[in-house]
Structure 1
């Protein structure tokens, strides 16, 4: 399709979307002039040919191999629409403060890549203004929960999806004569711990099980026991289920089946246990699909992704990244169009294959994605997506989730250090989560 044909098609589609929005066909309140105002959505007509000669800035952080794919997609966008994209790659640790400083100084970028919207909800453009009221329907419901505003504003696009889940050292399992888990029939938590313990005892590994020091990763365990830190109804943690979920971790750190010192250092700061797994010090490691590429390159033993264990629920705990356009950016129309381009079926497939991510688009999720390496492991994560309960997506969409997850790490560390029992820590965690909800919920 030529640029001129694309331009005519886009203009016609957006004009149709505008008429639909003005007719008020969508259910529920939607935004007209800005966040917090319910009204009728007026979709702006955009002719992509009018962008020729214009430029935009994209503030970006990279997970590694995704950067090359991003640069290739940007080059295609620039060539097709005769525009310039100024890609600004920042360390992830600097991104939030840098963008906030630019907003305060009246120098907002056009587009940003984010891991969450909490810091920028008031600054993000409602993408429906240019892309139409139904644009969100191109994406899976779960990830979309994290990008919707109070009145249905679409404040960003969920550009990739991650899922927490375990990896196993196949060589150690085989040496111990312990059967491998069945990806079609997931093991229970008790079965996983029992298998890991048998492998540890038979092969004399230092540990049986490891998990990243991360509230997000431990939220996987909470989800599997049927609860979450926060949700649409506030601080929703079921204390009895949380105690049941966390006690096995506490017990394993107490008797040496999990690395205790690993959890007692570095405060609330994230620490990955991937080096413990790569050193073959544990046969089972709970992390997520982003490790597949690293293990393919660096592991000198046979390994595999394993299904998440089940308790009250199965599946993993979701995460991911977002692309959003800033309302105060110099060119919001081009910013919205760029976000759309980077998240078409073709573009998202290229991006997630390069980065080892999972898709957020409905069409890619339904038909599956072919990865260049370790397809069988990525398929394990795909299968677990279907088992993952909505409470994980709901928790991730809350402004209070990040703070609550840090409190989870702190409280668990206090239990491991012997300063609290699990029941008291969970009660305190619930109280702190309630306070965060009160402070941060809109």
Structure 2
């Protein structure tokens, strides 16, 4: 479990942070031509006058926290950071277009490295071979390439889980328990819906990642180290309640079908008070703390065969063809040292990826946010290791997209659930082969 991994690493001394020397120009490594990758030191003033491009998407409050940290970095290093904020749905396409045109950003924020893994800058020569030990092994596992090189830094950890509208539950006279099964959660949601007259009993983001939460709790994953890991019987049991809810429009059917295959968040439905339960993740905490007009809380994930949620997170990465790789690596290091990562996650409602912050805890901005993050941390402790393994697998992201497409076909009446899952399994086989070649 993640807690055992955390304890095992908590006593390890943090790897020393290493930079390049002034004997090399910024972005150049001693020994590159001979194949050596010796880490040297470089003073901050050697970056003075350079410009760095940071391609970014935002979940909400994290944008201002990022801008504040960028301002500090610019002042300390006498550089300019050009922050380009894109909608999450456009991030991959835009980044791929820039790569194909020979104009990669210096740094990019990503949720998956699958589309870019072969193009990413290897960070070990800039940050040191021991740098990865500063971070929890689960998040780091997704940032290592086939040659065991660090090609990204996990900048925050996410955990999927449900939020509840406490006011609606109280109005309906329904308790939110300390633990519940999937059946108990759906029964409670429908009881609140019936008592209060809200349009929906349940909502969740249109996301293969969120659907993987349900699969994990029913004891199956899309992929593992051996390839296709989908148990069709368990997947059918996991997804049947969601399909049935959408068939009755107790879960918003049009919302699921309206965005094609693209990710869509259901946070506005929850904020409008239209559903008592919303399955999303901890990145919503900052927004809800600032915008919700009702009492809300994070609730524990429901259990089936397993408990816990499904892990994810963001990575900061650079590209091998970036104009200023040394500056990019130093920016990534700066944003993810203990002081600055704590500042970022405490404001934005994220979970830390560093071993020291995970062991010592983070103080969040207000009482509601702290309580919610404590709930997500508790779920992290009982989340199966198979979730980290699946999320870090190169075949996970395209398999999750295929999962969304197949569920959409079922919701739209084009397929029955089991044949859709059988088709999905065949697609996963192909995707595993493609991503491992």
TM over 0.5: yes
Deviation at 1:429, TM superposition (A): 0.9
2-structure distance, mates of 1:416, 1:88? 36
Mapped contact 2:89–2:263 kept (Cα < 8 A): no
Q: 1:157 to 1:171 in 2, by over 3 A?
A: same
Deviates more, 1:216-225 or 1:401-410: 401-410
From 76, 82, 87, the equivalent of 2:78 is 82
Q: Are residues 1:401 and 2:396 paired?
A: yes
Match of 1:274 in 2: 267
Match of 1:115 in 2: 111
2-structure distance, mates of 1:382, 1:256? 32
TM-score for the superposition, normalised by structure 2: 0.87
3-state SS in 2 of match to 1:315: coil
3-state SS in 2 of match to 1:179: coil
Match of 1:283 in 2: 276
Deviation at 1:41, TM superposition (A): 7.1
2-structure distance, mates of 1:329, 1:270? 28
Deviates more, 1:66-75 or 1:312-321: 66-75
Mapped contact 2:300–2:379 kept (Cα < 8 A): yes
Mapped contact 1:10–1:47 kept (Cα < 8 A): no
Deviation at 1:154, TM superposition (A): 0.3
Deviation at 1:107, TM superposition (A): 3.4
From 53, 62, 65, the equivalent of 2:61 is 65
2-structure distance, mates of 1:371, 1:181? 24
Q: 1:203 to 1:124 in 2, by over 3 A?
A: same
From 316, 328, 332, the equivalent of 1:323 is 316
Deviation at 1:399, TM superposition (A): 2.5
2-structure distance, mates of 1:402, 1:150? 17
Match of 2:302 in 1: 309
2-structure distance, mates of 1:414, 1:97? 24
Match of 1:4 in 2: none
Deviates more, 1:71-80 or 1:341-350: 71-80
Match of 2:342 in 1: 349
Deviation at 1:380, TM superposition (A): 0.9
Q: 1:413 to 1:80 in 2, by over 3 A?
A: closer
Q: Are residues 1:387 and 2:387 paired?
A: no
3-state SS in 2 of match to 1:352: helix
Q: 1:264 to 1:92 in 2, by over 3 A?
A: closer
Match of 1:146 in 2: 142
Match of 2:414 in 1: 419
2-structure distance, mates of 1:40, 1:247? 54
3-state SS in 1 of match to 2:82: strand
2-structure distance, mates of 1:278, 1:272? 12
1-structure distance, mates of 2:276, 2:210? 18
Over residues 82-136 of structure 1, what are the superposed CA-to-partner deviations in whole Å (9 max), with x where a residue is unaligned? Answer: 3343334444444434433443344333222222212221121111112111111
Deviation at 1:33, TM superposition (A): 7.8
Query: How much is the aligned-residue C-alpha RMSD, in angstroms?
Result: 2.5
Mapped contact 1:57–1:88 kept (Cα < 8 A): no
